[in-house]
Structure 1
Amino acid sequence: MITYSQRRDISVEQILPIYELNGWSAAQKPDALRKALINSHSLVSAWNDEQLVGLGNAISDGFLVVYYPHLLVHPDYQQQGIGGKIMELLCKNYEGMHMQMLVAEYETVAFYQKRGFERAGKTEPMWIYAGDDH
């Protein structure tokens, strides 16, 4: 049975497999990754007993804007509703916010549209990025 938590006592050894198996370059910076996650405004994790099988986080000013940078599910647990439940729990923390935003890979656009997200007007995503996975 999958359980969901907002706990922050997650070790880098629990976090890394999900990032590595999903091909995210943040796995190359394990200490910074863990610090970023546990210091996020919100962090929701999914567990199968003591195994971390999914997580998502939010960065927010707490009043107007929230950004959802990470949502990952272990490949063995994908397509089971875990990512959707994590997003539901994260978004519940920010109901009524002026702007909730994220950047979606093309293949995940439909997933986020089901949750009420839509293209942000005529905007274009922009970044200075130190990774190599996009």
Structure 2
Amino acid sequence: MLKIELVTADGIGQQELFELYHAVGWHAFDHAPDKLMEAMQNSTGIAQARFNDRLVGLARVVSDRVSICFLQSLATHPDFQRQGIGKALVEKVFEPFPLMVRALITGTSPAQRAFYESLDFIDPERTLPEPSTVFLRHY
């Protein structure tokens, strides 16, 4: 049975989180697993999807709790994609944050664009009445 709920970082094991991240091709924390768990602890909100107690999806946000909420991570195991889990995770993780701006940074594949546009996210270059942009600085 599939269950989607808000949780704290303490409810997610490091090994199961790495298994999910690896399943979607994420390896940025392989060299520093403790940093991944620290990032989870410092998240403002976390939603998880479990199928028969197996972690199959996760969304996490960081926020100032007043004006902006940033979707930091969204991962759905490939075996469970295209079943509405990603959408449900995004909706669940944003539930406690009825804020003015919800933001994310993602790849540029047509599938990613279509998915986030289906959730009413917009490309800042298409914002009306005043166009916007996103600036990043990587260290």
Match of 1:56 among 41, 56, 59: 59
Corresponding position of 2:128: none
User: Structure 2 residue aligned with 1:68, among 65, 68, 71?
Assistant: 71
SS of the equivalent of 1:94 reads coil
Percent identity, please: 28
Report the counterpart of residue 27 of structure 2 in structure 1.
Answer: 25
In structure 1, the residue matched to 2:137 is: 127
Alpha carbons 2:45, 2:60 under 8 Å: kept = yes
Question: Superposition RMSD on alpha carbons, in Å?
Answer: 1.5
Aligned mates of 1:115, 1:38 — CA distance in 2? 26
**TM-score, scaled relative to structure 2:** 0.84
Deviation for aligned residue 1:55: 0.1
Tell me the alpha carbon deviations over residues 34-86 of structure 1, each in whole angstroms, 9 at most, x when there is no partner: 22123310000000121100000000000111100100011111111110100
In structure 1, which of residues 99, 102, 105 is the aligned counterpart of residue 101 of structure 2?
Answer: 99
Does 1:117 find its partner at 2:121? yes
What amino acid sits opposite 1:117 in the alignment? F
State yes or no: 1:82 paired with 2:92.
no
Task: Check conservation: 2:4, 2:47, Cα contact below 8 A.
Answer: yes
* Structure 1: runs of 5 or more not aligned: 130-134
Question: Deviating runs (4+, > 3 A) in structure 1?
Answer: none
Conserved? CA contact 1:57–1:90, under 8 Å: yes
TM-score between both structures, scaled by the size of structure 1? 0.87
Instruction: Please tell me whether Structure 1 or Structure 2 has the larger radius of gyration of its CA atoms.
Output: 2
Unaligned runs of 5+ in 2: 125-130
8 A contact 2:50–2:56 mirrored in 1: yes
Q: How many residues align?
A: 128
Aligned partner letter, 1:98: M
